[in-house]
Structure 1
């Protein structure tokens, strides 16, 4: 597309040159006088059409990136809902298992009470059928009424306990059925969340594929990268302003920072995730593009944990055009670390994280953003080479 545009410009200006050149040698007839003006108008119209086309393509590209951001946020929301449902189901299954244990225990106690009641009834029946046995065993008939009363009381007590056990068992069964109904509803919600996730992921893949096709045009890609860099710079400036304000008014309730400052970790800083370097700091982003990588790209397994490299405060956790899902951590002393092109963010702005704490889940790489996990270190707003901070291999 760019080559065509340049050719159109060249042809237009070449034609304009020859028209102007011929004007000086042709007789000033009416027809000849109109030809250069017509050619000039056509050239101007062609230039305007090219400029308008470029503007329209830029607008379409920005709209496409907006759709990609919406699809990515929808995907992350579906993943979060699915994870919360899975946790709720796990808790519910624990409740159901506990209910089943209680029902089984109640059933065992009920059987014991039934056996005890059956023995009492059998003993009472035998005593009523053979009253002489009580006389012989007790030394006379004077205690028969007392024993009979005791047996009746014991039987009534056993039957009362039996009725209580039956009621408790029925209550436990009802509770168990309710818990199972809730669990079934959560399973249905989980299935719906999975379907939503699959749809959002399909939308995201389609938008990403369209974006990758669009940025094959070098002029569009260069302008897009410049715009994305300006957006990130504006966010970093805002982050540093807020950090400076917090430093002037420290929060007494905030947890104490570790003894080792970020500035002392050069050469010992851990990586945010395991993976080989596929794009190094200051590498060119394209064969003919002037833009360069301001951080390092790691080839990280999809779904791997992305961890904070040091203690700090999360100052940004959202989608950003050109960077995908992005987490920025403020480590103090005007040091920031950036983790982008992740699949899911597990922290929120304002959270404090410790060294090695998981903040995100790694996603698949994409040439439209980065072919892996993108990691930056900033100091006083400027980028530093992360590989110089890692232990030598």
Structure 2
């Protein structure tokens, strides 16, 4: 691979540019570090701004091909190594999350299985109680029939006794005396009297037995009624408990389905990161194979020594400062410099353009590697004048300021980073410029 082709490889890898953003522009999304049960996708507020797709006027200008004498810089290799480290860290976080999610899913599935068993047991109890209620209903019906029969017999016996009593009353209570006087044989008369009394006593005993049976039937019916009420109340309580368990069952089923969906999404992310890691490793190997150290001009000041002496990338007032909170709990990683759209954006120090393209959340973005892990970022610009791989000098034009710097106002979003650590740009820019 020629040096020229190596630079084109770096410039044309969208996955490399995307992962470069993780290192250069945005911290790792908080969602990767959240617990599985409370995970939320990052909202649009977590990005530097909600950029629309660039219009035809915002397309980068014709890219300049690097000369054949240019070689990949050590900074490019360091940036790619940093990307690889970031991807490895993201892979580790996703694998940890997946392990926790699998453990949580196992716990939820075990709890769901227990709920299913409890629901089945309650359903069986309800079915048994329904059968008992039906049996008691049948017994109660039979008792009611017996009661009706006994009541009819009792009424008949009462009527017979009542007639006998009325006849005795009408005759003035002399029936027994007449029975004795009309008989010539005293033994016969005595026997007839015994028969008469036995007949009446038998009727009275039968009535008393009917009454006792009716009393027992009434007591049994009351017991059956109470048993039915108890079973009905038990069934109502069991039905309520079953509804609660079924509601819990549905909630756990939804949670397991959500976990499965989240795990599928994370597995896809993991597969993508693994593919990105493999690609980056190939790119690192290629860069390490062809990389050469290109000395900076002898009079060039190291970036670390330029603290407080860098020129401003565009003339204007600071509209948003480093570290300010926005979008809730997010902290700004750079500054927003207010400027009319179309003002010239210039490099703050010597270096090499390692990225010049549109990127979601940052619009048109330029990243310059200044060596020793220092980089500067210029976001939401338009009309690039430099391309990936170009060398730039301090104060050299890079692009024009855009109509929206990420806060709805025209200007430039600007960052300075050392490795993956963000620095306050105002500590590095010349005061008062």
Q: TM-score range by the shorter chain?
A: 0.3 to 0.5
In our comparison, the structure showing a higher alpha carbon Rg is: 2
Greater relative contact order (Cα < 8 A, sep 6+) = 2
TM-score (norm 1): 0.44
TM-score (norm 2): 0.40
